[in-house]
Amino acid sequence: MYIFTAEKRKMGSKGEISGRGEWMKLDNAAKIYPAITGSELTGVFRISVHLTAPVVLPALLKAAEEASKLFPLFSVELCRGFFWYFLEYNGKTPRVMPDSGPRCQPFPRTMNGELLYRVIVRGNTISVEFFHILTDGGGGIFFLKTLLNHYFLYAEAITEMPFPEVKDGPRPGCSEDLFSRHYGKGMPQPAVLPHAWHLPFRLRETPRFRVTELGVPSEKLVLLAREAGSSVTEYLAATMLFVLQEIRTRLGGGSPHIRVQVPFDLRRRYEAETLRNFSLFAMPAIDVRMGHYSFDEILREVKITMQMMTDEKRIKQVISRNVSKEKNPLIRIIPLFIKSPVLRIAYNRFGPSQFTSIVTNMGRVTPTGPAAQLMKAMSVTPPPPHKQIKITAGLISMGVETIITFGSLTGNTELEKNFVQRLTSEGLPVRILTNQQ
Amino acid sequence: MAICKNCGVDLGEGNEKCPLCEPSDSRSDRIVTAADLFRLSRIENTRHLYEITMLLLVAGVIITLAIDAVLKRGINWSLMTTTCIGYLIVFISAIYLLRRRPYLVITLATVATLVFLWLLDLLTGHTGWFRSIASPLTVAAALLTAAVLFLNSLSRYRGLNLLATMLVALAIFALITEYLTDRIVSTAYRPQWSVITAASLVIIAMFFIFIHYRMKRGRSLGRLFHI
């Protein structure tokens, strides 16, 4: 039996949150979020696990309390400094809330004592919602695995952890901002991308954000991708581009560049232990002026771009570009009340113009032991997209099923329908699990 | 095994009530859902802003009174600043404390404005401008604001039609202003600039109403003018 020893853990090495009064800077990826997020563009993502039986609430409450003790770097509130926002430790445990209303609702930007993550529960489903300021999908999954280790201990008295890889909780270095470490001074700027085409669909009335979840058999999906000589991420990014091209061809107009943002985790590459944001993205694209692309041509483009963008030098170049803005003395000395509106305007002008949609793959989660039989599937809800982007997709695999979740701000379901049709035409059975309209 | 009818979780042995959906603390400011959290954070931010504003205004009263008392050995010009700041305190407080009752806000703001202008008239030599022009203009502005609010509340889609009603109200206000100033200056009403202004505003209002009801029904102002 594993023993949880949260109280005995010492996380106090340099730069890590360990006790009251301590604080940390926002990491490079998080810095933009306080300025751009609000009631609709919330910057909140959700990871859910679907169990075979109703969630035992007392066990979940205890598990949330115990798991959160292992994550002092998450027990922080967002505070407003004079030049930048920062995170201050408050030692609180996350709120456990019933699931009501749309997913990924906003966290208040500054409110005394409020943490930037929460546990959501409904029926058989346990979810965690994180504000991107705190961590990315990798950190979110790490916390959810730890929560589930505790939950099954208290709910079912299962002492064999389903996720032994996180039994020790976060490791030293978990709160390090690795973007700063991998910053290289004097690196050339990456090429500026031309504006991308955007879906011209009409926005839904508020609250806009709705999701559609599709279930596909994991093994068949992997087989399909392998047969095409690609990874699942590349295959689905190519499918998204293919579907977008169909819609662009039918509707016409706008930029000829169709581009999909594909985030990738940097932790494995750098063997990093950080639980803060540490991911970048590739931007596979097609230019419809070059003519109609077949699926194989798109897949080749995606593979080339993914390989190129995940090259170490390219990664360093992009990190250096991002961090150099933060290190710019002029930007640093501008007070926050001026910086925030400027950042918001700049983001709205240049941020979403770079890509048409997002496909994010959180990878495969593999539970072990008897508790594995008590978990049916996992799903990830990407943050509500910008009004220009309108539809994004996220996926995660557990057991026999991969769940693809589309988050949408529009009532038009053409993209989702075409995506399903494309997959089924390749012989992949698709189940619609949730369709909030 | 007791299951919560709302969130569907197993409540565990011996528990009848769901602590998430039916917490023992039944205050209106309790946080149950994620939406509550965001709503209450907005209320808290507004409260902070109100408190800081009040603090600054009261500090302004104290500082001006103190300067006047020290330098002039009495209370002279500081009466003017105190009256102005006092008016601001009442006006802002009415908006903040009664924000859910707009007609009461208008009533209180009108009374406060009338008292403020009367005091200014008294402090500036009591020449009678309060009675002849300030009070009728204030009452007219209040009635027109109430009318705009009422018409706005009748509208299902609030967009350019709201702007149109505001423009029409402004047109009427321009006519009233010229009528009152003419009565003071020459005792006879000769409509000139106000008619041109009102006509221009009404034309723009008609244009907005046409766009709203015939072309872009339901377009919100937020969407139309978002940056």
Every domain of chain A and the residues it spans: 210-312+351-435
The residue of B5, B36, B38, B223 whose CB has the most chain A CBs within 10 angstroms, and thus the best one to mutate to test that interface, is B38
How does pLDDT run across A172-183, given as a tens digit for each residue?
888 888 888 888
* CB < 8 Å to B33, chain A: 97-98, 100-101, 105
Counts for chain A of helices (H) and strands (E), in that order: 12, 16
> How far is Cα A291 from Cα B63, in angstroms, rounded to an integer?
73
Find the closest chain B residue to A112 by CA distance: B41
Q: Is the pLDDT of residue A387 over 80?
A: yes
> For residue B26, what pLDDT band results from cuts at 50, 70 and 90?
low
Does residue A24 register a pLDDT over 60?
yes
Strand duo A279-282 + A391-398: pairing = unpaired
A242 CA: distance to closest CA in chain B (Å): 31
List CB contacts (< 8 A) between A114 and chain B: 37, 41
Q: What angle do CA A303, A191, A37 make, to 5 degrees?
A: 85
Taking CA–CA distances from B1, the nearest residue in chain A reads A56
Residues constituting chain A: 437
What distance in Å separates the CA atoms of residue A324 and residue A318, rounded to the nearest whole number?
10
Task: Provide the pLDDT for residue B24.
Answer: 65
Mean pLDDT throughout A200-213?
A: 88
pLDDT in tens, A32-61: 999 898 888 999 999 999 999 999 999 999
Residues A106 and B143: their CA atoms lie apart, in Å, by 39
Whether residue A61 lies within 8 A of chain B, CB to CB, comes out as: yes
- Rounded CA gap, B102 and B95, in Å? 8
Residue A60: predicted pLDDT? 95
Distance CA A299, CA B144 (A): 64
- Residue B70 contacts A, CB cutoff 8 Å: no
Please give the average per-residue pLDDT across A62-73, as a whole number: 93
Contacts A38 to B, Cβ<8 Å? none
Mean pLDDT of the A272-292 span: 91
Indicate the length of chain B as a whole number. Answer: 227
- B-facing residues of A in 126-155 (CB < 8 A) are 129
Q: How many CB pairs under 8 A join A and B?
A: 94
Which residue type sits at B72? K
Tens of pLDDT, residues B147-175: 999 998 887 777 788 899 999 999 999 99
Of A57, A105, A129, the CB nearest to B35: A105
B33 contact partners, CB below 8 Å, separation of at least 6: A97, A98, A100, A101, A105
Question: Three-class SS of residue B16?
Answer: coil
pLDDT band at B226 (very low <50, low <70, confident <90, very high): very low
Average pLDDT on A268-280 reads 87
Burial class of residue B80 in the structure, from the number of CB atoms within 10 Å of its CB (0-12 exposed, 13-18 middle, 19+ buried): middle
Residue-averaged pLDDT of chain A? 89
Task: Look at residue A12 and tell me whether its pLDDT is greater than 60.
Answer: no
Specify the number of domains making up chain B: 1
CA-nearest residue to B22 within chain A is A98
Burial of A281 (0-12, 13-18, 19+ CB in 10 A): middle
Among residues A107, A37, A41, the alpha carbon closest in space to that of A77 is found at A107
Among A57, A114, A337, most B C-beta atoms within 10 A, so best to mutate, is A57
Question: Could you tell me if A204 lies within 8 Å of chain B, comparing CB atoms?
Answer: no
pLDDT reported for residue A5: 38
Which residues on chain B are in Cβ contact (under 8 Å) with A48? none
The pair phi, psi for residue A123, each rounded to 5°, is 55, -115
Element (H, E) at A396: strand A391-398
How close B154 gets to chain A, by Cα (Å)?
Answer: 20
Q: Is the pLDDT of residue A363 over 90?
A: yes
Torsion of CA B41, B46, B49, B55, to 10 degrees: -110
Residues of the domain holding B222: 155-227
Q: What are the start-end ranges of the E strands in A140-246?
A: 210-217
Interatomic CA distance for residues A199 and A247, integer angstroms: 8
Rounded CA separation A166/A138 (Å): 12
- Chosen for mutation from A60, A97, A129 (greatest number of chain B CBs closer than 10 Å) is A97
Q: Does residue A14 register a pLDDT over 70?
A: no
Over the stretch B168-220, which tens digit does the pLDDT of each residue have?
999 999 999 999 999 888 878 888 899 999 999 999 999 988 888 776 554 55
Distance CA A17, CA A275 (A): 12
Is B166 within the bounds of a domain? yes
Whether A53 and chain B come into contact, CB under 8 Å, resolves to yes
Provide the pLDDT for residue A391.
Answer: 95
HSE-CB of A57 using CA atoms within 13 angstroms: 27
Look up the pTM and report it. 0.76
pLDDT of residue B11: 86
Residue A80 in contact with partner chain B when CB distance is under 8 A: no
Is B4 near chain A, with CB under 8 Å?
A: yes
pLDDT tens-place string over residues B62-109: 999 999 999 888 888 899 999 999 999 999 999 999 988 999 999 999
User: What does the pLDDT read at residue A4?
Assistant: 39
Structure-block tokens of residue B24: 């023992």
A124 interfaces chain B, CB cutoff of 8 Å: yes
pLDDT at B216: 56
Q: Considering CB atoms only, which of B10, B40, B44 is closest to A55?
A: B10
Q: Is the pLDDT of residue A99 over 70?
A: yes
Q: Is residue B99 part of a domain?
A: no
User: Measured between alpha carbons, how far is B65 from B69 in angstroms, rounded to an integer?
Assistant: 6
Residue A19's pLDDT band (boundaries 50, 70, 90)? low
Which range of A14-18, A409-413, B181-185 scores highest in mean pLDDT? It is A409-413
Residue B220 lies inside a defined structural domain of this protein: yes
| Token pair for A343 | 């950042």
Domain A210-312+351-435 architecture:
2-Layer Sandwich (3.30)
Q: What is the pLDDT of residue B184?
A: 83
The DSSP symbol for B74 reads S
